[in-house]
Amino acid sequence: MTTADPTQATGSAVFRRRRRRLGESLWLAVLAAAAITSILITVGIVYVLFSEAVPFFGEVDFSEFATNTLWSPLGQEFGVLPLIVTSIYVAAIATIVAVPLGVGSAIYLSEYASEPFRKVIKPILELLAGIPTVVLGFFALYSVTPALKDVGALSQFQTFSILVGGLVVGILITPTISSLSEDALRAVPNSMRDGAYGLGATRREVSVKVVFPAALSGVMASIVLGISRAVGETMIVVLAVGGLAQLTADPREPSKTITAEIVSIAGGEAARGSIQYQSIFAIGLVLFIVTLLINVAAAIIVKRYRVEYQ
């Protein structure tokens, strides 16, 4: 009968611990590198925007840029107000469409649908989020616009409108709101549901008065994320909203968003270094600031309504 060498066993254990620590150190280094790379990319984007926008504001007065209602780079008119208002208008219509559909479907899937039904429907909803936006743009142009003309919401001579763009962008962000909201609702502990049922509450009361308030932070985060995506959407608004930058309160009229104008100038013949070329970065900086404000608002809302469960 042979006995194991205690020295050899101890050395093997030490070797395994060292190898484990080395693996953890390498993994930590990879994660740190990923975080630092993300920060550097963000800093690089901000630097490029500012470095190109500063010369633009050296030639164009900022007050004129912020208050002028006419945007025509070829005519040396750089009033960003119509672009901002149209971008917010489209996002507002999209929010009106997407929030009831997204939150309603999330409540149904979380609280009412059977598990087999949920396993089928939720992947379908998430698949909708993966449809290329250019496809949804053509859907807006060739399906939604004719349908609105048939019911009289648009005149027979209108091809582009803020209304159509907002409706289809709403369809685009509905799966995002629905999926994230449903995850937040299902994260609520079942003990809260059981307690409410034990007190005699109906399923509707449990869903609306117990589960939904408890998941409000996650639901609000999904809504703000959807709004942020709506503001930054490009292809749908390029194909559906139109190419005329005008300040209008009528959603049936065509107009132009910030992202559509960036695509228009970038795809044109603006010479690098020209004021028309630099205007891309100026309005891109505006879009960046708007998106940043939305994300800050989301962080504040989530922190305000966050509920932690033990």
Rounded mean pLDDT of the chain? Answer: 84
CA-to-CA dists, residue 69 to 27, 86, 197, 255, 283, angstroms: 53, 12, 57, 12, 14
Same domain? 45 vs 177: no
pLDDT value of residue 121: 85
Same domain? 49 vs 85: no
Write out pLDDT tens, residues 149-161: 888 777 776 788 8
Write out pLDDT tens, residues 204-245: 888 888 888 888 888 888 898 899 889 888 889 988 888 888
User: What φ, ψ does residue 10 adopt, rounded to 5°?
Assistant: -65, -40
**pTM surpassing 0.75?**
yes
**Range of the structural domain that residue 266 is part of:** 66-305
Q: Which of 37, 59, 81 is the last residue of a domain?
A: 59
Same domain? 48 vs 107: no
Range of 72-76, 168-172, 239-243, 245-249 with top mean pLDDT: 168-172
Same domain? 163 vs 217: yes
CA dist 8 and 37 (Å) reads 43
Position 205 in a domain: yes
Same domain? 142 vs 279: yes
Q: What is the mean pLDDT of residues 246-274?
A: 83
Q: What is the mean pLDDT of residues 161-171?
A: 92
Contact 91, 251 (CB under 8 A): no
Domain tally, the chain = 2
Q: Which of 33, 59, 85 is the last residue of a domain?
A: 59
CA dist 194 and 211 (Å) reads 11
Q: What is the mean pLDDT of residues 51-70?
A: 86
Write out pLDDT tens, residues 132-155: 888 998 998 888 888 888 887 777
Same domain? 220 vs 82: yes
Same domain? 201 vs 75: yes
Burial class (CB in 10 A: 0-12, 13-18, 19+), 70: middle
pLDDT band at 89 (very low <50, low <70, confident <90, very high): very high
User: What φ, ψ does residue 279 adopt, rounded to 5°?
Assistant: -65, -25
Q: In this structure, what CATH number is given to the domain that contains residue 240? A: 1.10.3720.10
Q: What is the mean pLDDT of residues 83-97?
A: 93
pLDDT value at 1 more than 50: no
Same domain? 208 vs 272: yes
pLDDT band at 165 (very low <50, low <70, confident <90, very high): very high
Contact 149, 250 (CB under 8 A): no
Position 310 in a domain: no
Same domain? 111 vs 162: yes
Write out pLDDT tens, residues 195-206: 888 888 888 888
Same domain? 36 vs 141: no
